[in-house]
Amino acid sequence: MTLIALTGGIASGKSTIAARLASHGAVVVDADQIVRDVQQPGSPVLAGIAREFGADVITADGALDRAALASRVFGDAEAVARLNALVHPAVREESARRFAAASARPDAVVVYDVPLLLEARADDPWELIVVAHAPAELRRSRMIELRGMSADAADARLAAQVDDERRLAIADVVIDTAGTLEHTLAQTDRLWERLQGRESAG
């Protein structure tokens, strides 16, 4: 099994890269989906969030009110740390389970699609760290034009993230997503060929 991490800032094109790798046969494990899964109604994580941040972050049908929780923690580093202490161990355990399931196929290429790699898992034993990168101003435009966010909201999201220099510093491979979709996909295809070569060599 080849295990790689794929990360990038908001609106960096990371999902496009993940989808392309999946189309080639990679097993994509989505960290954001795992977060949602471990916060399902009735889960220990959700119960812990309610205890820590108040029952009003839970909807009437027992689900997490993500907007309410976000408003409670956004911009508050100490609150974010308390939330991460509840969520990250469960995410780590579930991601390990999914990696193990994928490893049943020796030639599997597993891509962990993880926005918060630098914050949470930079030191894990990845064979490659792949960073999707576009300049912050371009990502800001994408958030406003494609996601319908306000300029202030886009600026706040960018400000809350790790800066590009720190993210690029841990990269083994950088995929430049500032150009055309075709350019991004061509770079992703070359990455896949490299990964296949590593698998053959192994």
Q: Is 12 annotated as a binding residue?
A: yes
Q: Is 9 annotated as a binding residue?
A: no
Which ranges in 103-163 belong to alpha helices (H)?
117-120, 136-147, 151-160
Residue 54 assigned ligand-binding role = no
Amino acid at 167: R
3-state SS class at 62:
coil
Environment class of residue 13 by beta-carbon count within 10 Å: exposed (0-12), middle (13-18) or buried (19+)? buried
**Residue 42 annotated in ligand binding:** no
| Bridge partners, 129 (sequence order) | 5
- Amino acid 9 reads G
Closest CA to 133 of 174, 99, 185: 174
The response to whether 16 counts as a known ligand-binding position is yes
- 7 labelled binding-site residue: no
Contact status, residue 38 vs residue 133, Cβ threshold 8 Å: no
Residue 171 phi/psi, 5-degree rounding, is: -75, 135
Cα-to-chain-centroid distance, residue 54: 26
Q: Residues annotated as binding site?
A: 11-16
Q: Residues annotated as binding site for ATP?
A: 11-16
